[in-house]
C-alpha cells in the first residue's frame, strides 16, 4: 500500500489560474459619508477603504487604538491630496450611513427569492467547474482555494500590532503561475499580465503571491483529497510511527544529557523533555516585534515559569504561563523530574525576568539536533506522535462494549478532547453557547414531559387490559410500551448531546482531529465497533482522509 504514495512528482500540470475578487462597486450617491458633521463625497479609492471600516463598525476591533491608528494611516495613503488635507481626525468621521447600507444589503441577501439564490448557486457551480479543477498527470484533481481573498482590513489574532492595516487587492501583476511547459498556460484577464510563469514539478502549488501585511507567500493548492496531499498527510503519520520505534532511545539520550558538563547540551535536553512531555511547540524563528509577543519552548523567558520545590503535595512543580501560537494562553502546572527541576534553577540563576530561559538554545539549533536523532524529526512530530498515541489509549480506556452508538461516539469525542487539551487547543466559549444549551435543555424538558405522558398512558392501558383481557387492548399495551422505549432512547440521545456540548465548551476539537490524529486510528476504531465513519468525519474530513479510510490497517488494538 505504501509505494502508491512514494516520491510523487508531477509530469504534467494544467490549470486555469485564480479567480480574482470582484472589482469595487462604488456606493450609490444617496449613501453619504460625513466628516465633522458635513457630507463628503470620497474618491473611489478612498471610499473603498472606508467601506472596509464601515463594514466592521459594530465590531470591537474598531474601538481598539492600534486598529484605528493602523487603519487611518493606510487609509490616508489611498486619499487624494484634497481628501488628505480635509480628513485629519478619524474621530470626526461618521461611517453610520455606510454601515447601515451594508446591513440592509446583507438583510436583502438573506431575503432573496429562491430563483435568485438558485442563480447565484449556478454561477458558483460554473466557476467551480471552470477553475476548481486541474489536470495533474492523468488525474483530474480538485483545487482547494481557487478564489483570491478580497481586500479588507487585517485582523490578526490576539493584540496583533498590525491589526487594522489595509490588506491590498491582489492583481494579476502580483501572481506567479506554476504549470508544466507542455500545458495550456492560464490566460491573465484581458489587458493584464502575470508577474511570472514558472515550471517546477517539485512543488504542489499552482499559483502564488505575496501578501502585503506580513510579507508571507500565499498559495493556491490542491484539495486535501488529492493524491499528492494525501501522500503528504500519510508521510506525516508515518514519521510519527517511526518516532514510536525510537522514542525510548531518544528519551534515554536526553536524560543522560541532563547531566552533561556543557550548558548548551543541558538546555537542549531540558527543552526536548518539555517538547516530549508537554507537546510544546519549538518556537518560531520570525523576527521579533513583527508579530504579537508569542513564544514557544526555545523562546521561553524566565518570567514564563515559576518553580515550586513543593506544591499541593507534589514535589518539583513547574508552573508555565505564556502566550503561545495565535496568542492562545498556555497555563499548566506539572511535576517534573528532580534533575529537570535542578537544571531549571540553574538556568534561571542571575537572570532578569525578561531574559531567555534557554540562552544557549534557539529553534534552529534544536531542529538540527532533532534531525540528527531521527530523519525527519521535528517538534511537531512529537505532538503528532503523542496526540495519536493518546487518542489510541483513551479510546481503549473509554469505550465499553455494552454502550450504544451515541454513547460510543461520546467516548470518541472525549478521547478527542483529551488530545485537544494536551495540544492546548482552547477556544473562547462560542457567543451562542448559552442560548444553544438552553434550547437543548428545553428539548430535554419537553422530551421528559412526553416520557411521563407516555408512561401514564402505558399504565392506564395496562389497567384497561387487566379488565378487558382482549387482543385489542393487549396490542395497545404493546404499542404504548414501544412508545415509552422509543422516547427513552430519544431522551438519552439528547442528554448525551448535552453532555458532549457542555464538555466541549472551551475546547476546539477540529485542529487536533484534522492535523494531529492519525486517521487510521479513528478508522480502525470505527471498524472494530461497527460505527459508520460518517459519524466521526464529515464530508470534507472524509475527503481529506480518503487514503486512510480506504486502507485496512491491522496495526491498532483497542
Ligand atoms: C452620523 O450620521 C448619522 C446620519 O447619517 C446621524 O444620525 C448621527 O447622529 C451621526 N453621528 C454622529 C456621532 O455625529
Ligand atoms: C504524552 O503527553 C502526556 C501529557 O503531558 C505525557 O504525560 C505522556 O507521557 C506523553 N505520552 C507519550 C507516549 O509520549
Ligand atoms: C541560533 O544560534 C546559532 C548558534 O549560536 C546561530 O548561529 C544562529 O544564527 C541562531 N539562529 C537564530 C535563528 O537565531
Ligand atoms: C466539517 O467539519 C469542519 C470542522 O472540523 C468544518 O470546518 C467544516 O465546515 C465541516 N464540513 C462540512 C461539509 O460539514
Ligand atoms: C507557484 C510557484 O511558483 N510554484 C513553484 C514554481 O516553480 C518555482 C521554481 O521554479 C518554485 O520555487 C515555486 O515554488
**Local mean pLDDT, 10-residue blocks, the chain (558 residues):** 38 86 94 96 96 95 95 97 96 97 94 93 92 82 88 89 95 92 89 90 80 90 74 86 94 96 96 92 62 84 96 95 86 94 96 95 92 92 92 93 90 92 83 91 96 95 88 91 94 92 87 89 91 92 82 66
**CA atoms of 480 and 45, how far apart (whole Å):** 70
Question: What's the grid cell of residue 17?
Answer: 489560474
Backbone angles phi, psi at 43, to 5 degrees: -65, 155
Tell me which ligand sits closest to the C-alpha of residue 394: 2
Q: Is 17 left (phi over 0), alpha (psi -120 to 50) or beta?
A: left
Query: Is the CB of 125 within 6 Å of ligand 3?
Result: no
Query: Cell 480628513 identifies what position?
Result: 87
User: Ligand 3 center to residue 294 CA distance, Å?
Assistant: 19
Residue tagged 520570525 (cell numbers): 286
Evaluated on CA atoms 113, 117, 120, 126, the torsion sign reads negative
- 288 phi-psi bin (left φ>0, alpha ψ -120 to 50, beta other): beta
**Count of C-beta atoms within a 10 Å radius of residue 224:** 19
pLDDT at 554: 60
541 lines ligand 4 (CB under 6 A): yes
User: From ligand 4's centre to the CA of 122, what distance in Å?
Assistant: 22
Query: How many angstroms separate the alpha carbon of residue 540 from the centre of ligand 4?
Result: 6
The predicted structure's pLDDT at residue 287: 43
Helix, strand and coil content of the chain, in percent to the nearest 5, comes to 50, 15, 35
Which value, in Å, is the radius of gyration of the alpha carbons in the chain? Answer: 30
Tell me how far apart the alpha carbons of residues 468 and 455 are, in angstroms, rounded to a whole number. 20
Q: How far apart are CA 165 and CA 160, in angstroms?
A: 11
The rounded Cα 69 to chain-centroid distance in angstroms is 29
How far apart (Å, rounded) are the C-alpha atoms in residues 397 and 391?
Answer: 10
Grid cell for residue 524: 480502525
Count other Cβ atoms within 10 Å, centred on residue 428.
9
Q: How many angstroms is it from 11 CA to the middle of ligand 5?
A: 14
- Which ligand approaches the C-alpha of residue 18 most closely? 5
pLDDT at 458: 94
Decide: 139 in ligand 2 pocket, CB within 6 A.
Answer: no
Nearest CA, atom 9, ligand 4? 540
379-398 vs 263-278: helix axis angle to the nearest 10?
Answer: 30
pLDDT at 3: 27
- Tell me, in angstroms, the distance from the centre of ligand 5 to residue 64's CA: 39
- Residue 416 near ligand 4, beta carbon < 6 Å: no
**Contact present, 295 and 329 (Cβ < 8 Å):** no
Q: Count other Cβ atoms within 10 Å, centred on residue 7.
A: 6
Per-residue pLDDT, 5: 34
Alpha helices, DSSP H, located in 423-518? 433-468, 471-503, 510-515
Q: Ligand 1: distance of its center to the CA of 39 in Å?
A: 11
Nearest residue by C-alpha to atom 2 in ligand 5: 178
Q: Which ligand is nearest to the CA of 13?
A: 5
The total number of residues shown for the chain amounts to: 558
The reply to whether 516 belongs to the active site is yes
Around Cβ 123, how many Cβ atoms within 10 Å?
10
The best mutation among 245, 249, 252, 277 to test binding of ligand 2, ranked by most ligand atoms within 8 Å of the C-beta, falls on: 277
- Residue with the three cell numbers 536524560: 255
Which ligand lies nearest to the CA atom of residue 200 in the structure?
Answer: 5
Residue carrying C-alpha cell 482555494 = 145
Q: What is the pLDDT of residue 243?
A: 95
**pLDDT for position 11:** 72
Choose among 352, 67, 14, 412: nearest CA to 178: 14
Q: Please, how many CA atoms are within 13 Å of residue 364, restricted to the half-sphere of its CB?
A: 2
Residue of 101, 412, 516, 537 marked active site? 516
- The ligand 1 atom nearest the CA atom of 97: 5
Q: The C-alpha cell of 324 is what?
A: 503561545
Distances in Å between the alpha carbon of 314 and those of 123, 135, 406? 63, 60, 38
305-311 vs 314-323, strand pairing mode: antiparallel
User: Which residues are CB-neighbours of 293 under 8 A, at least 6 positions away?
Assistant: 323
Residues with CB under 6 Å of ligand 5 are 176, 178, 198, 200, 203, 205, 207-208
Reported pTM: 0.65
- What cell numbers appear for 437 in the block? 444549551
**471 Cβ partners below 8 Å, 6+ apart?**
none
Give the whole-angstrom CA distance, residue 432 versus residue 454.
33
pLDDT at 552: 58
Amino acid at each position: 500500500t505504501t509505494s502508491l504514495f512514494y516520491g510523487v512528482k508531477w509530469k504534467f500540470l494544467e490549470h486555469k489560474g485564480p479567480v480574482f475578487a470582484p472589482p469595487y462597486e462604488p456606493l450609490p450617491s444617496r449613501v453619504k459619508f460625513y466628516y465633522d458633521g458635513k457630507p463628503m463625497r470620497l474618491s473611489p479609492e478612498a471610499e473603498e477603504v472606508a467601506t472596509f471600516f464601515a463594514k466592521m463598525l459594530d465590531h470591537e476591533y474598531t474601538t481598539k487604538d492600534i486598529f484605528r491608528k493602523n487603519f487611518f494611516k493606510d487609509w490616508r495613503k489611498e486619499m487624494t491630496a484634497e481628501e488628505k488635507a480635509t480628513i485629519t481626525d478619524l474621530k470626526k468621521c461618521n461611517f453610520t450611513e455606510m454601515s447601515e447600507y451594508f446591513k440592509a444589503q446583507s438583510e436583502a441577501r438573506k431575503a432573496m427569492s429562491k430563483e435568485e439564490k438558485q442563480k447565484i448557486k449556478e454561477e458558483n457551480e460554473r466557476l467551480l467547474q471552470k477553475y476548481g479543477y486541474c489536470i495533474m498527470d492523468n488525474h483530474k484533481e480538485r483545487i482547494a482555494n481557487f478564489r483570491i481573498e478580497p481586500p479588507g482590513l487585517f485582523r490578526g489574532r490576539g493584540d496583533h500590532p498590525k491589526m487594522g492595516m489595509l490588506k491590498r487587492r491582489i492583481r494579476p501583476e502580483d501572481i506567479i503561475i506554476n504549470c508544466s511547459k507542455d500545458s495550456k498556460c492560464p490566460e491573465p484577464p484581458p489587458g493584464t499580465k502575470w508577474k511570472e510563469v514558472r515550471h517546477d514539478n517539485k512543488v504542489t502549488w499552482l499559483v502564488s503571491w505575496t501578501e502585503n501585511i506580513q510579507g508571507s507567500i500565499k498559495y493556491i493548492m490542491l484539495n486535501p483529497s488529492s493524491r499528492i496531499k494525501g501522500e503528504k498527510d500519510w508521510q506525516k503519520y508515518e514519521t510519527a510511527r517511526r518516532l514510536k520505534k525510537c522514542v525510548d532511545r531518544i528519551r534515554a539520550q536526553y536524560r543522560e544529557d541532563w547531566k552533561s558538563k556543557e550548558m548548551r547540551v543541558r538546555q537542549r535536553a531540558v527543552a526536548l523533555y518539555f517538547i516530549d512531555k508537554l507537546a510544546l511547540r519549538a518556537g518560531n524563528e520570525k523576527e521579533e516585534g513583527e508579530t504579537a509577543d508569542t513564544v514557544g519552548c526555545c523562546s521561553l523567558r524566565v518570567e514564563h515559569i515559576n518553580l515550586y520545590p513543593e506544591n499541593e503535595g507534589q514535589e518539583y512543580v513547574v508552573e508555565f504561563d505564556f502566550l503561545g501560537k495565535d496568542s492562545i494562553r498556555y497555563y499548566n502546572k506539572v511535576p517534573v523530574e528532580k534533575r529537570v527541576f535542578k537544571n531549571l534553577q540553574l538556568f534561571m540563576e542571575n537572570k532578569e525576568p525578561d531574559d531567555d530561559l534557554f540562552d544557549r538554545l534557539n529553534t534552529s539549533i534544536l531542529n538540527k539536533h532533532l534531525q540528527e536523532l531521527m530523519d525527519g524529526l521535528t517538534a511537531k512530530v512529537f505532538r503528532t506522535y503523542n496526540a495519536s498515541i493518546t487518542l489510541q489509549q483513551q479510546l481503549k480506556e473509554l469505550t465499553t462494549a455494552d454502550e450504544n452508538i451515541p454513547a460510543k461516539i461520546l467516548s470518541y469525542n472525549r478521547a478527542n478532547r483529551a488530545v485537544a487539551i494536551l495540544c492546548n487547543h482552547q477556544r473562547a466559549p462560542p457567543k451562542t453557547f448559552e442560548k444553544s444549551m438552553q434550547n437543548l435543555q428545553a428539548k430535554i424538558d419537553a422530551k421528559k414531559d412526553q416520557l411521563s405522558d407516555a408512561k401514564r398512558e402505558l399504565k392506564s392501558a395496562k389497567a384497561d387490559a387487566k379488565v378487558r383481557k382482549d387482543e385489542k387492548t393487549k396490542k395497545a399495551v404493546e404499542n404504548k410500551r414501544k412508545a415509552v422505549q422509543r422516547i427513552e432512547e430519544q431522551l438519552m440521545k439528547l442528554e448525551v448531546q448535552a453532555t458532549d456540548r457542555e464538555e466541549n465548551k472551551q475546547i476546539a476539537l477540529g485542529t487536533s482531529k484534522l492535523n494531529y490524529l492519525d486517521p487510521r486510528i479513528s478508522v480502525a476504531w470505527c471498524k472494530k465497533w461497527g460505527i459508520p465513519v460518517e459519524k466521526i468525519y464529515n464530508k470534507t474530513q472524509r475527503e481529506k482522509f480518503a487514503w486512510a479510510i480506504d486502507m485496512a490497517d491491522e496495526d491498532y488494538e483497542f
